[in-house]
Structures are given as structure tokens and as C-alpha cells.
Structure 1
Amino acid sequence: MKQKLALIALLLSAALLAGCLSVGDGSPGYEITVRLVDGETPMPNVEVLYSGPQIKGGSAGFTDSRGEVTITSLKGKVDVLFALDGYDAPVHLLTTDHPGVYAISGVPRTPGIYIDWYGTAPDGYDVMQVDWYCQDPQYNTYWAVFNWDKGYAGFQQRHDGRKLLMSLWDLDDGTQPDVEYAPYGLYGSFDHEGSGSFAFTDYEWKEETWYSMRIQRWEEDGKTYYEQWVREEGGEWLKTAVISYPAEGPRFRSNGMFQEDWEGNNLGRSCRLRNMYARNLKTKTWESWNKYYVTTMYIPVIEHLSTIPGSVWEYVFWDIDYGVDWDLGPNGEYVWIKNGGGDFNGNGKEIPVVYTVNQPPQPGDTRWLE
């Protein structure tokens, strides 16, 4: 009996030392290292605090010369906050329940801001059209006014000029898209963030000017085509790109728009959206998608400086109100969105929000464009 008890004690001790068991509720503890940076420069001497429902929490101390603090004996979900200069209270920049090394930006990055629209047609839609107006342009911005299953399209401002873009991703079975028409800019294939084909159009769009963009989809001879058109308000339609699949491609069922700072410069950029329409694939009637769903998010974790399980999207803060702004325009004629150029102080607005935009029941030009 004594030998059996001694063996049990030995096994328990070994398990505790190996981290397989912990004292208390029996769940394993874990540790994290947070690395606070400005770009890739460490931020030392910043107090780090933490809390969680299964731990006592408190101060983890101050970041060292590498911008790092290690927090041990954690259980369950833990919130990590940083006592950054210039703020009345510590700023919450991480929630996790996994061990790892988390590189956190101690200076604001540009949050994400989105508008979504939803259709109800069982057979989907074959045309989408929306109006876009750039109010505050900044370099390295993508205003993706269309996002559908396996594709997106929109307006860009790059260091080499202003452009339009349409991209299609490979289908789930590996079927690759082909660029059929792209007379005004660079086109080809890509293999980052998935793989597919793209077509740029060199197009000197102007700020404070309304533009309509349309994507038309049709099937012919076993292929599916996606065709991009653009028109400045008061002008003529211009066909800019056609990309196809040698198979059936996705139908339109909803739309999403985002305003992206792909460089991470945190400069303020803003735009307006109005007159979002889709044409029913079966009945060929137009629907006015006048409900604009606005959401926001912030990614504090810097992926290439971290060693973490999963992707940075698992550590996103949704529905944040800092570094972003949004509103309904006068007389409800458009929705305005802004991101970048701010800090970690919130604007106090309710988010997510749904705006009902005052727009006609169908676009002014209902033709199939050819």
C-alpha cells in the first residue's frame, strides 16, 4: 500500500512539473509573452496589466528593452492592457486563451471598416451596381466596392497612379480564371492570399466626384464571364475588364465593401456609397439594396513578429469605435465612412449600425451593357 501511494505521489509530482496538471481547478496553466512595438521598434517601460475570470490578474510589470513582458500561470481567457502615454486608462489590445509570443502595436494601426448588403433571391443575381465618391484619398488605399464569392472589384490609389481592379480567385476544385479583356492596364495571375487572376485599369478617377461601377455575370458555351464597367457621373460607360472561368462560377448573392490601408500608414481616408442595386438572375428585375450594414474591426497583433496558434484574425476586436467614423448623409442619400488618422480614443457611436438610404428603386440605366 505504501508503495502504491508513493507511486501515485511521484506521478502527480511529475505531471505538475510537466505542466499537465495545475493546482486549483485542474485546468492546465499557460504563459504568454507580449512584445510591444512601434512598427518593429520595441517600446520599453510600458506597464502591462492583465485580468480574466479564472485568475486574479494585476500588473505584469513593465516592458523590458525588447518591449517584452512574460505572464505566467494563466487560465482561460485573459485580457491584456497597456498603460500607454496619452490615455486616461490602460488600452485593451489583446484577448487570448493560448500560449505564444504576441507582438502588439503600441501605436494605432488603421482599423477596418465595412459596408454589407444582402439579397434574398434563391437563384441569385447576375448584375451588381453601386455609386462611389472619394472624399479623402490616400496612397495605398483600396476601395473594394464589390466583394462576392471568389471575386472583388473596386478603385485604388497607388504610388504609380489611380486605378481600377477586378480579381477572381481559383474555384474550390482548382479551376483557374482567365483574363479575357484588359486593354488599359496590367493583368495576370497572383499567388498570395490565395491564387487567381487580376486585371488593373489605369483610370485617373477624381476625388469629390461620383462614379458608378457595375459587374455583369453570364454563362456561355460552358464558361462563366465577369465583366467590369465604370462611368463618371454624367459620362459614358467604359468596359474595363473581363475575366472568365472555363466552368460555372459563383452567382452574386450579396455584396460587401471595404476601405483598406494595405500599407499600414494610418492616414485618414474616407468615401461615400449610394445606389446599390442588383438584378435578379431569373426574373431580370432590379432590386434596390437600400439597407447598408456598417461594421468595424481592429487587428492589434502583428503576424510576422508573433509566434501564435492560428491567424491574427482569431485576435480581432470587432465593432470598435476608435480610428473610424461613419454617418448617414444629408436627406439619407448616401453612407459616409472613414478610417485611419486616429488614436485609441473611441467616438462613442453605436456599432454595428444599419442605415436605410434614400435611393430610387432601380438604377437610371437598366440596360445590359454591351
Structure 2
Amino acid sequence: MSQTVKGVVARSKGAPVELVDVVVPDPGPGEAVVAVEACGVCHTDLHYREGGINDEFPFLLGHEAAGRVEAVGEGVTEVAPGDFVILNWRAVCGECRACAKGEPQYCFATHNATQKMTLTDGTELSPALGIGAFVEKTLVAAGQCTKVEDADAAAVGLLGCGVMAGFGAAVNTGGVTRGDSVAVIGCGGVGDAAIAGSRIAGATTIIAVDVDARKLETAKQFGATHTVDASTEDPIEAIRALTGGFGADVVVEAVGRPETYEQAFYARDLAGTVVLVGVPTPDKQVTLPMIDIFGRGGALKSSWYGDCLPSRDFPMLVDLYRQGRFDLDAFVTERIGIADVEAAFEKMHGGDVLRSVVVMEGSK
């Protein structure tokens, strides 16, 4: 039998979100129903509401989530009812050319649930990133559920998107290791996660770059050894000065703008690595002299979801959290109710929060 639960929906571009009844079907083959315990309010959800992703309204928002499996469909072996899971938006297929090469983190055929959740009048909902977790219960592909040890859902659920993207950009894509120098341009949630990942990986010089003094102060809590206020000084020269005049081994660009990408390119050491994890809008373009691209060597990489493999990375990062070595709690600025998502978007505009996290009633 299908269930009717409360969820947060964006009906049209730019309109305030609404708390409505959502119909969740029983899981079909390869699917699972998850009782959501907590879900972070991510910039991507705001982009959906503003029509910046696509126009497939109405959207069921929310995707940085953790909860407990309630039911599974036929053929599901990855998880079972009662398992505590973090949701991810990349259920790997196991069959595409990337998976066949043993690189499932680059799977080209990731998938979501086949069935649709709906409004009570039958209108199909488009779940944000194939998850839709600002809802009491959600339907996902079973492969979107990663079983982990029990932990605070509000904290570990953030691994479902932003924190994993930043951590993985530094560690998985950038290959940061002990003794490295790292610069991170843009110190929101993703940038701070890149800083934290660099510290855990053993980087000895970690430079946080932003134009907001508040964000720079917060970056220190995650492991930044130096800060650069790009509103008052040239970040390229500042990063070079802090790295013996050479530039950083790895520069993570967590903004997604041409000017900050150019800063990242010139702030790296010869043969250094630039990692783009900030998401640019389709109109953004960057122009660099080809002789500089050729002459500086190294690598220019983009990082999609931190090049993560949830089945590998989520349990490891939860273990680090439980050991006190990865402070996921520090990313949680406030815990809010499911009716407070619109207010959280307003706080996001003002840069007042790192993450607001919706905690479902009964899970506090």
C-alpha cells in the first residue's frame, strides 16, 4: 500500500516552497523506501527552486539525507529494513565501461527509482538529484542507500552531497597527501570540507581563500593553517608567498567562476594540480594562454561529487567521525523543522549558515 506523508515541494520557478502531502508508493524491484531522519539544506535545492537545474516542476526538494530503511523491493540485497543509511545520488550500474574497468566512481549509467512519488492528485514529482528527502519517507533506488554505522543523522547525512564533494575534491581528485601544500578558494561548506580532508590526509600548509572574513575564521576550525582575504590582497601572490614563492601543490576551486579558476591556475606550483569542484553556470567561460597550460605542466581536473564511491567512502568517513577525527558536527549550523526550509533559503542568501539541517519530528 502506498503511504501519504508530508514533504517540501517547489511548484514553480522562484515561488516559495510548500509543505504538502506526498504519496510514496511501495518499493518495486530494486527500490527502497527510507524513513528520513535528517536532510541538509543545500544550495542545489535552491537552484532547483530557482529553475537553475531544469524546468521539470514540481520538484520534491532535499538530497543530503540519512535515515532508516523501512521496506525494500524484489531483488534488493544491498540493504534491509532497519538499516541506517546515507542517501546518495549515484547508484552505480556495475555494467557500463567505467564499472567494467574497475572505476565505478565514474559510472556513466547511474540510476534512480523507477516509480514516481506524486501529489495526492496524481501529479508526478521530480525528486532533487533523484532523491527528494525533504519528506518524511522517500522512495529511492536501493543502490542510492549506503549502509553505515549508526550516527547522528543530521551530521552524517551531509556526506550525501556537499561535504563529500569537498572532501573528495581534495583527497580523491586532487590526491592530497602528507606534506602537501593546499589552497582552497571559496570557503563555504564544500570548501571547508576540502580543507578538512586536506588536514586528515596530512597536508602541512592549508591556505583558505575567500572574500568574507567570517568564512575565513570558520575555515580555521576545519584545519586552515593560513587565510587570505581576496577582497584586500591578490590571492595568487599571497598563496605563492605562503609556499616559498612556488605556489601550492594542489589548489581546489570551490566557487565556479572564471576569475577564481584563473587564480587557482596561477596559484599552483609547476606540475601542481588544479581541481574544479565549484559548479559554474552554463554561460561561464575561461580563457587561458595555451603556452601557460603547456609550460606549467601538472593537471587540470574537475571533480564531480568528489569522485566518490559511496560504498567505499561513506563508511570510512563515518568511522572517522565516530573516532572524533572528522568533525561533521561543525558543518551543522542549525537544526530546523520541515516547515522551515524557505526560511533556511533566506539565511543561505545572507551567508549566515554553513548548513541548516531539517530534522524530522521524532528524530531529534
Same fold per superposition (TM over 0.5) = no
TM range (shorter): under 0.3
Larger radius of gyration: 1
TM-score (norm 1): 0.26
User: Which structure carries more strand by proportion?
Assistant: 1
TM-score (norm 2): 0.26
User: Which structure carries more helix by proportion?
Assistant: 2
